[in-house]
Structure 1
């Protein structure tokens, strides 16, 4: 908003205290995700239904638990943002493996307390980041371990088998819906 003044020409109008305060916090409430076509949103939702449905169906069919809560968050990444580095197969399976392994090791040696669970999440983040296998939903695996007190078999079933099943379902689903997944590595630059 501009106001015209006499000799000095044009100068900005003064903003109200409310406008000043709002501008200082606007970045907290701004949606940063780009707009998507409704078809993409519907396909992402259907993918989530199919992906979690396949893992849950495998659980019922086999009589073994393959489903843990962090897989729901993995489905969001796999089906809504399949081009994200955090959604790639190595990140999903590797991240869940790391998160669960850290949780199981710490749970074996530390008391069942809030600070031990917090250490599990922090250490899982550190290791995933260092190994370049970050998968945010896997940060919840140490919390699942501390809350449910599983044995080391938890690492293979549901974590490895469930996450692999979810990734396999995402690969098939994206192929059928003609969405590129997984990402192909970019060729290394030629050395001359």
Structure 2
């Protein structure tokens, strides 16, 4: 029972991040999970309940991804000596992340869908957005421990990252050069603001 529920959440998360809430049916999710459509209601009361479960997991994973970089900063960084914020932004605001939303950040992939969702789901996103912004502020402090850094959540960097990813995805097929310019511009902007 638990393994099947987990399989549904993972499958739905990938499909929602790639196609959005509205373009994914319960049948799509159950088929991808290798289960029958009729079994869905044994695990979730509604599609809204599944969306909430997926987003709770996804935003927690998004916050954890930033925290993992911060944890690296307090231990062995290996060969990568770039500042922590730059390392995270380099991976987040990338062509790879742009092209594989199903494997990427739930906040970046589903923020637009959340804006049209019930307030309960928006609360989940609010928590995730705040958590990511707090973690980004922590990366800034770790990068410059001798400088006075604000401990306020870094919503500006988060907004730049998600905005760039969204715009780059919006034009990727029509104008790949523009899409890459958007990503590069955001990375450069964040890097310059971090060193200012």
The answer to whether TM tops 0.5 is no
TM-score range, shorter chain: under 0.3
Question: Normalising to structure 1: TM-score of the pair?
Answer: 0.25
- Structure number having the greater helix percentage: 2
Question: Normalising to structure 2: TM-score of the pair?
Answer: 0.25
Higher Cα radius of gyration: 1
